[in-house]
Structure 1
Amino acid sequence: MEERRGFPFRDSVSSIIARGEAALEAGDPVAAGNWFVHAFRLGSGVARVHLEQIAPVLERLLDDPREGAGASALLGGIHLISETQYERALALFRQAAESGAPDGMRGLGFMLAEGVGTPANRAEANGWFRRGAELGDGYCAYNIALAARDGLGMRRNAKDFLAYLHQAADYGIPEACALLADQYNSRDEEEDAFRWYLVAAQGGHVAAMWVVAARYEAGLGAAEDRVRTDPAQIIARVGNFTERERAIEVWMYLADKAGWQVSRVPDGSLDTDAGDCGVVEVEGLRYRIRLTPRVRTTLVDDAGGRVSKRPVFSHAAWAEPVLETDGFVPYLGG
């Protein structure tokens, strides 16, 4: 599985951030920033802080003959992620793209395709996506595949769609892997479909994760695996008076007992009104742990001197997959 200009296949958010911090300590802010962008895409607030901190360093590298193109593309990506200075981001992406940096081609193509900070120009966007794909950028390959499939700024072309989709999937792009799996599934080629759904799921594609779980359970395209309970099916019956921190600890304990490697994501945003306890990472995929009325129990009431029983819902900790959106993939680091 190719990883260069693709996706950090099977890497956890914490390991991606660690790679970025190591690159920063080694004096390579461009490489560090690209790792942080990957982590940001997977939901890391810590990565966003790192990106904001290295932006001034990248400014000083823009005229460097060796690092300038990469720094321009990364700084443009930081502006795009922050939803600030779109015109500056566009100029930085164009500078990087014209210098031959695939990351710049990807970012420029995205802004042109979606009309961000500039009038939309799908035809020009496709030209940059195509050039980036030819230079080995998996995200560019995925974006031009979508354009060929849907006729966005070009004529529909099934041959190009499949060729670029395979290229993007070979680089581990989760969206491309899931879409390629769909193509195999539509032809009832179960084993190939499952193989690509699995790669997509391991890259954090939530819809593919649900498909993989269902197919493991049913044995479609893979040997049946009932040894481990799917994390989404793990219920921690903690009762109505348990605090959130204790609830997530109990859920993580049960997940560990089920055979999963589980870790906390310390920077997950919480919606306490929805019962959020925190975010965990389970072998490369992320789940939001909630504490809400979830399981059936019996309430015994002796009011009035007469014992009565009635069914009620009791609180439990449970896992909800952290979803991502599909579509054109913007700048995501090199």
Structure 2
Amino acid sequence: MWFLKAAQEENPVGELNLAMMYETGLGVEQDYEMAAAWYRQSAMKGEAQAQYNLGMLYDNGYGVELNATEAVSWYRKAAEQGMPDAQYNLAISYQEGEGVPKDIKQALKWYTQAAEQDYGKASYNLGTLYYNGDGVKQNYTKAKEWFQRSCEDEELEGCSIYLDLEGAGY
């Protein structure tokens, strides 16, 4: 009730919270279309979490038509505000060429920004780029550093099996 009242008052945080309730079905019947509508209201006001969540809906086709280009547009808005989840998803979009032309340099930029905020999956992907020399000069030392940093992220499971670069002679 209070989130609805705040949203009706055009409060971006209220709109975000109401959208999350609709997305998850918490306290209301799950409705992705309503979630998208409220995320959009909040996102248009600059709320980074709403921008990211709206991007996710477009990336998955929940409540909106599947649209990688639109997803990237929303990820970029949130990424530019420093949100590591959005930076990571934007990096993947550039690495895979989904919604944007494939651009490994842009992927590297956004992975780095997320990894510098201790976002483990971004650190791991950076390690992979350095290990393979994909878009950067191959550098096993940097690869190992990024792999090790990825292991500091408690959300990553099985991280301790990262490449043993010293054992491989690097």
TM beyond 0.5: yes
Structure 2 residue identity aligned to 1:113? D
The answer (yes or no) to whether the contact 2:140–2:165 under 8 Å persists in 1 is no
The answer (yes or no) to whether the contact 1:197–1:209 under 8 Å persists in 2 is no
Residues 76 and 218 (structure 1), Cα distance of their counterparts in 2 relative to 1, 3 Å cut: farther
**Identity level (%):** 23
The answer (yes or no) to whether the contact 1:174–1:201 under 8 Å persists in 2 is yes
Structure 1 residue identity aligned to 2:81? L
Structure 1 residue identity aligned to 2:147? Y
Pairwise CA distance, 1:82: 4.3
Determine whether 1:95 maps to 2:41: yes
Residues 151 and 198 (structure 1), Cα distance of their counterparts in 2 relative to 1, 3 Å cut: same
Structure 2 residue identity aligned to 1:62? A
Residues 71 and 217 (structure 1), Cα distance of their counterparts in 2 relative to 1, 3 Å cut: farther
The alignment's C-alpha RMSD in Å is 2.6
CA distance in 1, matches of 2:54, 2:168: 43
TM-score (norm 1): 0.44
SS of alignment partner, residue 172 of structure 1: coil
**Residue of 150, 157, 166 corresponding to 1:206:** 157
Aligned to 1:137: 83
Residues 57 and 200 (structure 1), Cα distance of their counterparts in 2 relative to 1, 3 Å cut: farther
Q: Which has the larger radius of gyration?
A: 1
**Count of residue correspondences:** 162
The answer (yes or no) to whether the contact 1:145–1:162 under 8 Å persists in 2 is yes
Determine whether 1:75 maps to 2:18: yes
Aligned to 1:147: 93
TM-score (norm 2): 0.81
Residues 71 and 207 (structure 1), Cα distance of their counterparts in 2 relative to 1, 3 Å cut: farther
CA distance in 1, matches of 2:71, 2:147: 28
* 1:79-114 Cα shifts (integer Å, max 9, x gaps): 334492111111111011101111111011110121
Structure 1 residue identity aligned to 2:14? A
1:21-32 pair list within 5 angstroms: none
The answer for unaligned runs of 5 or more in structure 1 is: 1-55, 222-334
* 1:114-133 Cα shifts (integer Å, max 9, x gaps): 11111111111111111111
The answer for unaligned runs of 5 or more in structure 2 is: none
1:26-65 pair list within 5 angstroms: 56-63=1-8
Pairwise CA distance, 1:165: 1.3
1:274-289 pair list within 5 angstroms: none
CA distance in 1, matches of 2:16, 2:116: 23
SS of alignment partner, residue 62 of structure 1: helix
The answer (yes or no) to whether the contact 1:73–1:107 under 8 Å persists in 2 is no
SS of alignment partner, residue 132 of structure 1: helix
SS of alignment partner, residue 156 of structure 1: coil
Residues 186 and 105 (structure 1), Cα distance of their counterparts in 2 relative to 1, 3 Å cut: same
Residues 139 and 220 (structure 1), Cα distance of their counterparts in 2 relative to 1, 3 Å cut: farther
Pairwise CA distance, 1:75: 3.3
Structure 2 residue identity aligned to 1:72? E
Structure 2 residue identity aligned to 1:183? L
* 1:194-234 Cα shifts (integer Å, max 9, x gaps): 322233222221243321xx74995987xxxxxxxxxxxxx
Determine whether 1:175 maps to 2:121: yes
Pairwise CA distance, 1:63: 4.3
* 1:231-255 Cα shifts (integer Å, max 9, x gaps): xxxxxxxxxxxxxxxxxxxxxxxxx
Pairwise CA distance, 1:178: 1.2
1:213-292 pair list within 5 angstroms: 215=164, 218=167
* 1:148-170 Cα shifts (integer Å, max 9, x gaps): 11111221112211111111111
